[in-house]
């Protein structure tokens, strides 16, 4: 190779540095040259190199080759964590700051010794080794320091991706490389947990996950970059059907029931219309029934928000601003849910982003 060709190759393999780019951390400098060429100075901003997290696509696929890795699917609240000179911040999918709700997580991130970073993960509450979204609900709405300290709910932040390190965006690196860097960069103790993965799977692995009471698995392409969108490079392999739905109304309670009888729920189609998906009458305790009724009364409206006719007696309508997590057995042929049950409210997803999830 000529000297000029060698210089050209060296330039191509070097990260794209701005005049004021930070020094490359040792862990990144040790990467192979083709991977270093994918590095970029991380833009300044509340969430560093990304504004929105990467999302997985629901899939019925069950056979994979060795180009995929597999993580446990967690049932919690998605959180981007930014650690810089100003401290540590926890951001929801919608950009809401969650530091006051999970101060122990923010403090553990701020105490890390690896310099500035941005990571992606899930905040969960565990019950008997299983992630429990209904238990996490008891922490999700708390912001008062005294109430947070008094809460018996212990949370953990399971971190599964590294988006920047030392001022350099790592989103262009392969998935497997990002996980290796993550494991070596942070110290995982207290509320911080590293999300382990398997390098291969088959049907028994998913069956084993389901037998343990897990939500399922997340399959990730080992060579894929991090993308600010829903992608088929990440696939949700679920043990049981379930997704978010928008609350558009409710029915009256009957007998000794308080609050309401059932939620009337739906999802948005590609035309922006709220489509009716059925009613959810199970999964509530007394406190949830009363609290939800109060919130829906505050959003009361005289007409149905659904594009489809809803033939329920004693129905009351509310503005479609609340999002519920609902488990169910399957969709019926006419587009209704079979055996739905309420799992909790979600405040980390805009209602307009709630669509019907269809397996790829």
The C-alpha atoms of residue 90 and residue 80 are separated, in whole angstroms, by 6
- Whether residue 161 contacts residue 178, with contact meaning beta carbons closer than 8 Å, is answered with yes
- Count CB-CB contacts under 10 A for residue 83: 22
The widest CA-to-CA distance across the chain, in whole angstroms, is: 87
Q: How far is CA 355 from the centre of its chain?
A: 16
| CA–CA distance, 129 with 125 (Å, rounded to integer) | 9
Pairing of β 230-238 and β 55-58: parallel
Question: Whole-angstrom Cα distance, residue 27 to residue 355?
Answer: 40
Q: Which residues are catalytic?
A: 73
Of the candidates 107, 106, 102, the residue with the CA atom closest to the CA atom of residue 154: 102
C-alpha dist (Å) from residue 194 to 54, 150, 187: 18, 27, 9
The C-alpha atoms of residue 356 and residue 270 are separated, in whole angstroms, by 10
Residue 330's SS3 state is: strand
């Amino acid at each position: 190779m000529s000297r000029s060709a060698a210089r050209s190759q060296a330039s191509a393999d070097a990260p794209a540095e701005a005049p004021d780019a930070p020094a490359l951390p040792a862990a990144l400098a040790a990467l192979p040259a083709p991977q270093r060429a994918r590095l970029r100075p991380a833009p300044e901003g509340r969430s560093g190199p990304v504004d929105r997290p990467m999302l997985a696509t629901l899939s019925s696929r069950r056979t994979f080759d060795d180009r995929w890795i597999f993580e446990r699917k967690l049932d919690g609240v998605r959180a981007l964590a930014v650690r810089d000179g100003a401290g540590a911040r926890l951001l929801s999918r919608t950009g809401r700051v969650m530091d006051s709700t999970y101060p122990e997580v923010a403090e553990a991130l701020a105490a890390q010794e690896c310099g500035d970073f941005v990571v992606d993960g899930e905040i969960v509450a565990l019950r008997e080794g299983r992630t429990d979204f209904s238990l996490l609900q008891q922490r999700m709405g708390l912001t008062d320091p005294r109430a947070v300290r008094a809460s018996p709910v212990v949370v953990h932040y399971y971190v599964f991706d590294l988006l920047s390190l030392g001022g350099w965006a790592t989103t262009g690196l392969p998935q497997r490389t990002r996980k290796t860097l993550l494991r070596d960069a942070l110290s995982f103790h207290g509320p911080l947990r590293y999300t382990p993965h398997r390098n291969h799977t088959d049907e028994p692995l998913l069956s084993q996950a389901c037998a343990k009471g897990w939500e399922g698995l997340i399959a990730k392409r080992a060579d894929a970059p991090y993308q600010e969108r829903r992608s088929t490079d990440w696939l949700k392999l679920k043990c049981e059907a379930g997704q978010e739905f928008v609350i558009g109304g409710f029915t009256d309670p009957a007998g000794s029931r308080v609050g309401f009888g059932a939620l009337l729920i739906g999802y948005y189609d590609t035309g922006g219309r709220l489509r009716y998906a059925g009613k959810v009458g199970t999964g509530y305790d007394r406190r949830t029934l009363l609290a939800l009724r109060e919130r829906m009364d505050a959003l009361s409206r005289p007409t149905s928000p659904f594009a489809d006719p809803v033939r329920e007696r004693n129905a009351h309508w509310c503005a479609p601003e609340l999002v519920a997590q609902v488990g169910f057995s399957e969709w019926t042929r006419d587009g209704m849910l079979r055996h739905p049950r309420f799992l909790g409210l979600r405040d980390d997803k805009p209602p307009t982003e709630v669509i019907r999830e269809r397996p790829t």
